[in-house]
Structure 1
Amino acid sequence: MNFDIENIHLGNLIKLRVNELEIPIKQICKFINTDENKIEEMYKEQFLDSDLLLLWSKLLSYDFFRIYSEHLVLYSPPSFSHAKNKITIPIFRKSIYTREMIDFILDILEKGKKSKQQIINEYRIPRSTLSKWIIKYKI
């Protein structure tokens, strides 16, 4: 399954992971401290509160927050150099691409949804990086 990083639906992803791990609903209810109906409702939700998402991440041994991090790497606006001097919170490097992100980009290219130039412009991926991915993953 190719993951669509543009359209994140946490409930669907959580349900997929629960099914993969075959975790009994009673165990989930006990861990999340809720009933079966609320769990089923969560599966339908596109977004969840961060404290709830943290519980799911722990229960399912999967970092659901990273999905948003990957989204930010691809879709965040360029940073402004004059603002960097005022930032007191940690600044993360943007040049870290996961395999899922690479697959997402190459899938777009292979299916003809976007050209190489569109990918370079929209996602600000260096031309040399995209070329290396194409060679390495043979599309």
Structure 2
Amino acid sequence: MNIKNIHIGSLIRTKVEEHQISIERISRFLDRPEDDIEMMYQAKSIDTDVLLKWCKLLKFDFFRFYTGHLILYAPQSRVDNAFRGKGSTILFRKSIYTQEVKDFILDRIKTGTMTAGDVVERYKIPKTTLYKWMKKI
């Protein structure tokens, strides 16, 4: 799984194969012809409404891949964790790291691709958080 370049169609196909769901059942559930299903497997991205249906059918949150991507490649500013829109303020109290993000980062450290310091600097993950993850492996 490449968390930087997400190909949602291949991820969906993998889950379908794991669950051994027939294309006929998928076609009925999504109310789409089988040709459309095959095209979705080839698609790098799909409509969010359709992706939500896939999540329900396969009982898996495919949106977490995008969340993981945002955490790693568009991290929040540590200086100002507030998003200020017109007259409103949304405060982010805590960053939430998915298991996929943790696994990705720990794999980078285990293989020697990055050091703990590199991870802290590049992805702005607090040192204490990273070291807690590392203790668990």
**TM-score normalised per structure 2:** 0.85
CA distance in 2, matches of 1:31, 1:89: 39
Q: Structure 1: which 4+ aligned runs deviate by more than 2 Å?
A: 77-95
- 5+ unaligned residues in a row in structure 2: which ranges? none
Deviation at 1:116, TM superposition (A): 1.6
Q: Which residues of 2 match residues 1-139 of structure 1 at below 5 A?
A: 3-79=1-77, 81=80, 84-86=83-85, 88=88, 90-137=90-137
CA gap 1:119/1:105 in 2 versus in 1, 3 angstroms: same
Q: Deviations over 1:11-58 (max 9, x none)?
A: 011001111111111111111111111111110111111111111111
Higher relative contact order (CA 8 A, sep 6+): 1
- Work out whether residues 73 and 94 of structure 1, in 8 Å CA contact, stay in contact via their aligned partners in 2: no
- Percentage identity across aligned positions? 44
CA gap 1:89/1:9 in 2 versus in 1, 3 angstroms: farther
CA distance in 2, matches of 1:82, 1:56: 32
- 5+ unaligned residues in a row in structure 1: which ranges? none
Deviation at 1:85, TM superposition (A): 4.2
SS of the equivalent of 1:16 reads helix
SS of the equivalent of 1:81 reads coil
**TM-score normalised per structure 1:** 0.84
Deviation at 1:105, TM superposition (A): 0.3
Instruction: Read off the aligned partner of 1:43 and give its amino acid letter.
Output: Y
**What is the RMSD of the two structures over their aligned residues, measured on CA atoms?**
2.2
Q: How many residues align?
A: 135
- Work out whether residues 29 and 36 of structure 1, in 8 Å CA contact, stay in contact via their aligned partners in 2: yes
Deviation at 1:84, TM superposition (A): 3.4
CA gap 1:82/1:40 in 2 versus in 1, 3 angstroms: closer
